[in-house]
């Protein structure tokens, strides 16, 4: 790559939230990602289910790559880490034990001879001792590296971080934190009066500018923003677009014709649901399967872009989000008379996002029809 196309950043901006269903808040996350200029978005309780069904289109944030671990048994839980596509990183192997059912993801950033390990952990309430031990062992292995940052919801409400004491349930965790010489940077409650969400690091200077911010959507946890003191190469902005000239249309057609659409439709037929609801669910399923097939048979090519923001993110929406955040900070500083104004702004942002969600679905449908027409034209030429 041309050296002129590479810039160095001295820190990475991180947004963390216990999302309590990130899928339901994905448009708000997309707005936060571009309006807040974050490099990393870390989430717990994503409630994703990417193994049993294709939710790639629903969970995608433009300009970011996704690393995630879903809950294996039952609903809920799960962790995810979104990292800007122009930042070099990969899954760090050797920290998670093969076959271990832990809700954690570990990503490695490399810059020259230096390495940074970033982990996201979700510990469900009441997790048994043996499964908890697996998580603490992961922290021990990660802490063997020079630069480590760990963020997540650990669900320990009885820990006093000033005296580094807790109850019997948290004793193994606290022992691990102290043995690994980890610093915990969050000092305020993140859910009610409880400090459940933590940011741990093994160097005093790694985590800076930490701030407790407003909840993500209807989540009952405060969000956290902070910067990681890590210099990384930030390549030129690029966006990926479908390369229809290099597509395998025969493979795409065969893949779609072999799908059992009747079987897929049965998943959404329920006496307790309306026909309208079932139709919307099947429509989402249809789009996800078509997008999945396109990702296999229609390659993508990169083009330069000065702006990776989604087209639907306009200045007005960015301004409303920034104004809402600013008023929230003022309320936290004691200006409680601004509460009504904050609530009104929150409702306005939500209303605009809901309206955009409907508009985006209509545009997806129209684009899908255009893509199909273009595909058929290319097939006809061949």
* pLDDT digit string, tens, across residues 334-343: 999 999 999 9
Instruction: Indicate the angle between helix axes 129-142 and 171-179, nearest 10 degrees.
Output: 10
Mean pLDDT of 134-163: 96
Contacts of 233 by beta carbon, 8 Å cutoff, 6+ apart: 6, 7, 8, 87, 88, 111
| pLDDT tens readout for residues 186-234 | 999 999 999 999 999 999 999 999 999 999 988 999 999 999 999 876 6
Q: Supply the pLDDT for residue 375.
A: 47
The CA-based angle 119-122-124, given to 5 degrees, is 160
Give the CB-side neighbour count of residue 57, counting CA atoms within 13 A.
Answer: 18
Q: Supply the pLDDT for residue 310.
A: 65
* Percentage of the chain modeled with pLDDT above 90: 49
Distance separating alpha carbons of residues 142 and 137, to the nearest angstrom: 9
Q: Is the pLDDT of residue 25 over 80?
A: yes
Mean pLDDT of 274-292: 71
Sign of the alpha-carbon dihedral angle for 286, 292, 296, 297: positive
Q: Is the pLDDT of residue 89 over 90?
A: yes
Regarding predicted confidence, which is higher, 207 or 264? 207
Burial readout 256-282 (b: 16 or more C-beta within 10 A, e: otherwise)? eeeeeeeeeeeebeeeeeeeeeeeebb
Task: Give, as one character, the DSSP assignment of residue 203.
Answer: S
Distance separating alpha carbons of residues 49 and 71, to the nearest angstrom: 8
Q: Is the pLDDT of residue 382 over 50?
A: no
Contacts of 351 by beta carbon, 8 Å cutoff, 6+ apart: none
pTM reported for the whole predicted model: 0.74
pLDDT, averaged across the chain: 84
Q: Supply the pLDDT for residue 275.
A: 58
CB 105 within 8 A of CB 97: no
Instruction: Determine the topology of domain 3-235 in CATH.
Output: Deoxyribonuclease I; Chain A (3.60.10)
Q: Give span(s): CATH 3.60.10.10, the chain.
A: 3-235
Q: Which of 20-29, 331-340, 353-362 has the lowest mean pLDDT?
A: 353-362
| pLDDT interval class at 377 (50, 70, 90) | very low
Please state the separation of Cα 334 from the chain's center in Å. Answer: 31
Q: Which of 118-132, 157-171, 292-306 has the lowest mean pLDDT?
A: 292-306
Q: Is the pLDDT of residue 115 over 90?
A: yes
Most confident of 50-54, 138-142, 277-281, 285-289: 138-142
Q: Which of 64-78, 207-221, 263-277, 347-361 has the lowest mean pLDDT?
A: 263-277
CB 68 within 8 A of CB 46: yes
Joined together, the tokens standing for residue 204 give 């005093």
Alpha helices in the chain (DSSP H): 26-35, 56-59, 129-142, 171-179, 249-258, 261-266, 275-297, 315-332, 339-381
Q: Supply the pLDDT for residue 166.
A: 92
Q: Supply the pLDDT for residue 340.
A: 94
| pLDDT interval class at 2 (50, 70, 90) | very low
Mean pLDDT of 52-80: 84
Regarding predicted confidence, which is higher, 171 or 268? 171
| pLDDT interval class at 360 (50, 70, 90) | low
How many angstroms separate the Cα of 10 from the Cα of each of 7, 14, 108, 231? 10, 13, 17, 4
Joined together, the tokens standing for residue 141 give 């292995």
How many angstroms separate the Cα of 328 from the Cα of each of 5, 28, 83, 237, 271? 38, 17, 26, 32, 44
Distance separating alpha carbons of residues 125 and 136, to the nearest angstrom: 15
Distance separating alpha carbons of residues 104 and 123, to the nearest angstrom: 9
* Percentage of the chain modeled with pLDDT above 70: 80
């Amino acid at each position: 790559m041309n050296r002129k196309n590479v810039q160095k950043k001295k820190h990475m901006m991180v947004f963390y939230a216990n999302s309590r269903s990130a899928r339901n808040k994905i448009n708000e996350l997309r707005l936060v990602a571009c309006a807040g200029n974050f490099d990393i978005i870390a989430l717990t309780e994503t409630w994703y289910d990417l193994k049993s069904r294709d939710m790639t289109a629903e969970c995608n944030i433009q300009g970011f790559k996704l690393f995630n671990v879903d809950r294996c048994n039952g609903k809920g839980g799960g962790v995810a880490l979104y990292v800007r596509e122009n930042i070099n990183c990969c899954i760090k192997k050797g920290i998670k034990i093969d076959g271990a059912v832990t809700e954690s993801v570990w990503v490695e950033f490399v810059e020259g001879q230096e390495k940074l390990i970033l982990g996201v952990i979700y510990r469900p309430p009441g997790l048994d001792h043996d499964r908890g031990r697996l998580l603490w062992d992961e922290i021990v292995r990660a802490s063997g590296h020079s630069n480590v940052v760990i963020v997540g919801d650990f669900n320990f409400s009885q820990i006093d971080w000033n005296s580094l004491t807790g109850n019997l349930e948290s004793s193994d965790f606290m022992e691990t934190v102290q043995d690994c010489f980890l610093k915990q940077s969050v000092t305020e409650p993140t859910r009610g009066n409880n400090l459940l969400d933590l940011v741990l690091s093994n160097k005093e200077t790694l985590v800076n500018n930490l701030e407790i911010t407003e909840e993500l959507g209807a989540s009952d946890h405060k969000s956290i923003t902070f910067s990681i003191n890590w210099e990384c190469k930030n390549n030129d902005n690029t966006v990926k677009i479908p390369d229809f000239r290099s597509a395998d249309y025969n493979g795409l057609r065969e893949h779609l014709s072999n799908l059992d659409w009747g079987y897929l439709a049965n998943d959404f037929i329920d006496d307790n649901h309306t026909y309208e609801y079932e139709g919307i669910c099947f429509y989402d399923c249809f789009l996800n399967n078509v997008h999945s097939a396109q990702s296999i048979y229609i390659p993508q090519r990169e083009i330069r872009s000065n702006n990776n923001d989604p087209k639907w993110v306009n200045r007005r929406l960015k301004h409303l989000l920034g104004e809402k955040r600013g008023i929230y900070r003022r309320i936290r500083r004691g200006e409680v008379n601004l509460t009504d104004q904050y609530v009104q702004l929150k409702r306005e942002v939500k209303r605009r996002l809901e309206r955009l969600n409907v508009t985006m679905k209509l545009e997806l449908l129209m684009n899908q029809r255009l893509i199909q027409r273009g595909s058929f034209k290319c097939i006809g030429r061949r």
